[in-house]
Amino acid sequence: MFHDATHQVPDQGEPGYAVAGEAWIKDGVVTFSCSVVTSHIDLETGDVLSADVKKDYSNVGSNQVYSTSANTTLNRNYIAPALASGFYQPGVLNAVYLYTDSKPVTDKLMYGDLDQDGIVTVMDVTVLQRANINMITLNADQKTVADVNGDNSIDAVDATTIQRYLAEMKVKGSKVGQIVGETPVGEHTYDEFLNAYNNLNTLFAKYASDTYGSYPEYQAASAAINTYRSTSLNPSADPDEVDAGYDACVKAYNALSAVEIVIPEPEKSFLLTDNFGWGTAYVYAWDADGNPLVGAWPGAAQAETTTNEYGQTQFVCHVPQGAVGVILNNGNGAQTEDITDFDVSGYWMDGSKNDLGHYIVTSW
């Protein structure tokens, strides 16, 4: 171990550097020589399946990355080592690939399977990344399966698409995992479904359940949201389920969006001065068909009051939606005449009554 003028020995808060032979340090990066050895071993027997591949490097930096690969000519499944790729380290790095059973021979090509071992793994990403920086040259079959997004270009976007596939994240237009020449599985991607699901949720929230709950369009939208809620939380959901969810959400959205949203009129209210000491006022209201809106006579008690500049109590009358007329009464026989104008500030009673014995009100 060593340290320079600004780095302490290990365990004292700053990194130390293990080296073999000469090493140089600049701007926190160590430059040195090292070797990377790739071995291929049978997991069960321990036999060496092919000769070690040793590569010697000089003047590489501790911030540079190396990579190794399995021997695909063995046509066997394998376990990739932790040292399959990583930052260069001083000395000798040994990446040991352990091989298990033989893989079935197939002439089918799979998108994303660049090392042509029959499955898509992180090693395929490594092969593609090395090809993108001209470290290796892809053959014709590898070029076919490397263009996983179908844009006729092999680049970093394809590598990212494979990585998202391995992370079980759907990508629109991705062909990863599909057999070349076969019909893709699933008409819609998870992202397309999720967008349709979220759009339906946003629209659904605009419709009040107490107003639209009985509408078939509202009920269909509610059913679609509830049915596919778990699908929306599962990026690796079955393709058939994703397609069904997409279709259901789009259908429900189109149907519900055709339902006109009726914006309720703002609540109206007015004041009634308690000129005769009622203490409590009841509001009886009715609609255009004569139906009571807040219960049978004498109506609903009006608990809210205020006081005017003369110290008089005033009842705050909140007019129910749909009301065409209201009567205020004390619940004990005294009442106003029918009040049908709700656009005034308030009313007061001077004591005069109509032919029915009801207090005549005057607005202000």
- Tokens coding 74: 């063995």
Distance CA 168, CA 317 (A): 60
Amino acid residing at 322: G
Collect the ranges in the chain with pLDDT lower than 70. Answer: 1-28, 102-107, 172, 183-185, 303
Structural domain ending residue among the three candidates 155, 182, 209: 182
pLDDT of residue 14: 47
Reference 317, options 328, 330, 333, 309; nearest CA is: 328
pLDDT of residue 103: 60
Domain membership flag for residue 263:
no
pLDDT of residue 10: 44
Domain membership flag for residue 262:
no
Residues 112 and 96 in one domain: no
Cis peptide bond N-terminal to 239, omega within 30? no
In contact, 161 and 132? CB cutoff 8 Å: no
Residues 338 and 246 in one domain: no
Residues 324 and 344 in one domain: yes
pLDDT of residue 313: 94
pLDDT of residue 106: 57
Q: Provide the residue range defining the domain that includes 244.
A: 190-257
Residues 149 and 75 in one domain: no
Residues 212 and 284 in one domain: no
Residues 3 and 73 in one domain: yes
Domain count, the chain: 4
Distance CA 194, CA 34 (A): 49
pLDDT of residue 28: 67
Domain membership flag for residue 210:
yes
pLDDT of residue 299: 93
Domain membership flag for residue 281:
yes
Residues 94 and 131 in one domain: no
**CATH code of the domain covering residue 163:** 1.10.1330.10
Structural domain ending residue among the three candidates 233, 257, 281: 257
Residues 286 and 334 in one domain: yes
Residues 13 and 97 in one domain: yes
pLDDT of residue 61: 83
Residues 166 and 116 in one domain: yes
Backbone φ and ψ of 325, nearest 5°: -165, 150
Residues 229 and 138 in one domain: no
Phi/psi region, residue 80 (left: phi>0; alpha: psi -120 to 50; beta: rest), is beta
Domain membership flag for residue 246:
yes
Residues 158 and 208 in one domain: no
**CATH code of the domain covering residue 17:** 3.10.20.320
Domain membership flag for residue 172:
yes
Question: Which tens digits make up the pLDDT trace of 188-242?
Answer: 888 899 999 999 999 999 999 988 999 999 999 999 999 999 999 988 887 878 8
Instruction: List beta partners, residue 210.
Output: none
Distance CA 339, CA 323 (A): 11
Distance CA 221, CA 228 (A): 11
pTM to 2 decimal places: 0.33
Structural domain ending residue among the three candidates 182, 206, 223: 182
pLDDT of residue 185: 63
